[in-house]
Amino acid sequence: MYNSKIIGLGHYVPDHVVTNNDLSKLMETSDEWIQERTGIKERRWVKEGDGDTTATMGVKAAKIAIERAGIDKDDIDFIVFATLSPDMYFPGPGVQVQHALNIKTVGAIDIRNQCSGFVYGISVADNFIKTGMYKNVLVIGSELHSHGLDKTTRGRGVSVIFGDGAGAAVLSREENTSKGILSTHLHSQGEHAEELVVKAPGMGTRWVTDIISENNPDDESYFPYMNGQFVFKNAVVRFSEVIMEGLMNNNLEVNDIDMLIPHQANLRIAQFIQRKFKLEDHQVFNNIQKYGNTTAASIPIALTEAWEQGRINEGDTVVLAAFGSGFTWGSVIIKW
C-alpha cells in the first residue's frame, strides 16, 4: 500500500471581471445585497469570443500543475475531470484533456458531483494510487457557469453567486504512508436531489424532440434552481460533520488544522464553520470574494492560491471540505 500526495497545483480564471455593480445593470440586485449575503465582490465570466470552455480552462490549469509537478505529460497515468458544466452532453471533458495535452491513451473519467466534484475526484485518484494501479493522476475541477445562468431578475437568487474558472492537481505515489493524503470521506443524500438542480437536458422525464419543438422561453428547467436557505442550513451541518469525521479518523483535533480550504459556496458558510471550530483567520482560506462560487473548481483554485501565497508548508495538516448539489459532501485530510 502507498499514499498519494499532491505534487503540483495550477489554476486558470478568465480575464473578464464582472462586478456586482455590473450585475445590477442586468437584473434587480445590488452590490450591498450580494456582499452582505454571500461575501462576493466580483467573479470571472468567460467573455464572448475568448474561446474559453470548461475543457480548455481545465487544460490551462492542468498544464501549470504538470509543470510545477516536475513531470512530463506522458508520466500521467490517469485523468479525472470534475464538472457540472461540460462542453458537451457527452463525452465528458476528461477525454478532451487527454487529446489537448496529447497524452498517450490513458484512461479518463468524469465526475458528476457538482460542488463536491473535486473532493470526489481526489478520492478516486488517491485510491487508484493507494492500490498501486497508477502512479501519477491528474485531477481537474473546471466550470463554465456563465453560459448557463438566468441573468434576469428571475434568476438573481442563483446567478449572482456563480463564476467561471478551473483548478488542477497532480497526485503522485508517496511511499511514506504517514504523509500525503491520509483519508477521504464521501457522502450523499439523494432525497434532496432537487433542492439544487438543473433539470434539463435530462432523459428522465422528457423527450429531447419535445424539448426542441416546445422552444418555450418560460421553460426554466435549463437554468439552475436552488432552495438557498435549505441548502445553506444543510451545508453548515454537513461541513462540520465531515470535517470532524476526517479529523477523528486520523486521531486529529480541530486545533491540529493548519489550513482549512472550504468549498467556496458562500463566505457566510465558511465564516460559520470558522467560528464553530474557533479557527483563526490564518487557518482558513477564502477567495470567494474575487471568484464567486466556481463549484468543482473552487477548492483547487483556493488550494493553488493558498500554496502560491506560502500559506501551506511541508508538514501542515490541510483539510479540504465540500458540500453541494445531490446533496453530496466530503472531506480530504492531508499531511502536506
Report if residue 296 touches ligand UT7, rule: CB under 6 A: no
The full DSSP string for 88-117 is: SSSS-HHHHHHHHTT--S-EEEEE--GGGH
Binding ligand UT7 (rule: CB under 6 A), the pick from 3, 4, 38, 123 is: 38
Report if residue 235 touches ligand UT7, rule: CB under 6 A: yes
Report if residue 61 touches ligand UT7, rule: CB under 6 A: no
Q: For residue 112, what is its C-alpha cell? A: 458528476
Residue 263 annotated to the active site: yes
Report if residue 160 touches ligand UT7, rule: CB under 6 A: yes
CB nearer ligand UT7, residue 16 or residue 37: 37
For 189, other C-beta atoms within 10 Å of its C-beta total 13
Residue 216 annotated to the active site: no
- The catalytically annotated residue of 263, 266, 286, 287 is 263
Q: For residue 312, what is its C-alpha cell? A: 501551506
Total chain residues near ligand UT7 (CB under 6 A): 20
165 contacts 14 by C-beta, under 8 angstroms: yes
Q: For residue 165, what is its C-alpha cell? A: 474558472
CB nearer ligand UT7, residue 56 or residue 293: 293
- The catalytically annotated residue of 3, 113, 115, 287 is 115
Binding ligand UT7 (rule: CB under 6 A), the pick from 156, 185, 290, 335 is: 156
Tell me the C-alpha distance between 149 and 129, whole Å.
37
Report if residue 155 touches ligand UT7, rule: CB under 6 A: no
Report if residue 225 touches ligand UT7, rule: CB under 6 A: no
CB nearer ligand UT7, residue 64 or residue 297: 297
Least distance from C-beta 232 to ligand UT7, angstroms?
Answer: 4
CB nearer ligand UT7, residue 98 or residue 294: 294
Residue 251 annotated to the active site: no
Least distance from C-beta 272 to ligand UT7, angstroms?
Answer: 11
Single out the residue of 219, 199, 200 nearest to residue 208, CA to CA. 200
Tell me the C-alpha distance between 99 and 36, whole Å.
43
Q: Name residue 26's amino acid.
A: L
Tell me the C-alpha distance between 94 and 98, whole Å.
7
> Which residue reads 473546471 in cell numbers?
142
Q: How many helices (H) and strands (E) does the chain have?
A: 11, 13
Element (H, E) at 237: helix 228-249
Report if residue 265 touches ligand UT7, rule: CB under 6 A: yes
CB nearer ligand UT7, residue 8 or residue 165: 165
317-324 and 259-262 beta bridge pairing: parallel
Contacting positions for ligand UT7 (CB under 6 A): 29, 33-34, 37-38, 115, 156-157, 160-161, 228-229, 231-232, 235, 265-266, 269, 293, 324
Q: Mind telling me the catalytic residues? A: 115, 263, 293
